[in-house]
Amino acid sequence: MLSTHAGSGANDPRPGPELWRPRHVFINGRADMNRRFLTAWVAVFIVWMLGSFVVHGTLLQADYARLPNLFRGEADARQYFGFMILAHVVLAGAFVWIYARGVEAAPWAGQGLRFGLAVSLLTVVPTYTIYYAVQPMPASLVIRQVVFDAVVLLLLGCVAAFVYRDRELARADRVVAHGPGASTS
């Protein structure tokens, strides 16, 4: 199957599912997507780890300490920190991958906030609601978890959008959609 998706290189001879190919592979004849994707992945990973530390390691730490039957103690949790890093690497990569598939030639901040909200509604809200339904979690803690993690995801959406912002990308989309003689202003 040849790709005919606007922005992915309509003459791309490589077969394969469109799902695995970023939308905007070539800009000005060079592959820019891998660098941009990796930059966004690292940036989102760092901000996510910092945000999670602020939320769960600082703001909610005392609440978690009052629930020793539900959460590991600090010394025990250190033994599993590698899993926390691995989880955030996977989360950040998936977050950026999904964002990159839907990025539009539109203002980046609005796109980032919209994406962060969508991911929050898809992940944070239902996850903590389910935890509340199956574990003896205080409602006040669950509400703060939802609010704080949603704020982190809004920020992460803006980080991904910031890395993907580019006037040349929007101009390249217009040229592909309307032909090389189209106005790019």
Domain map (residue ranges) of the chain: 36-175
Give the separation between CA 50 and CA 15, rounded to whole angstroms. 40
What predicted TM-score, i.e. pTM, was given to this entire model? 0.73
Give the tens place of pLDDT for each residue, 98-123.
999 988 888 999 999 999 999 999 99
List the structure tokens of 133: 């339904």
Q: Which of 81-90, 131-140, 166-175 has the lowest mean pLDDT?
A: 166-175
Per-residue confidence band for 27, with pLDDT thresholds at 50, 70 and 90: very low
Q: Quick one: pLDDT at residue 72? A: 87
Interacting residues of 108 by C-beta distance below 8 A, sequence separation 6+: 158, 161, 162, 164, 165
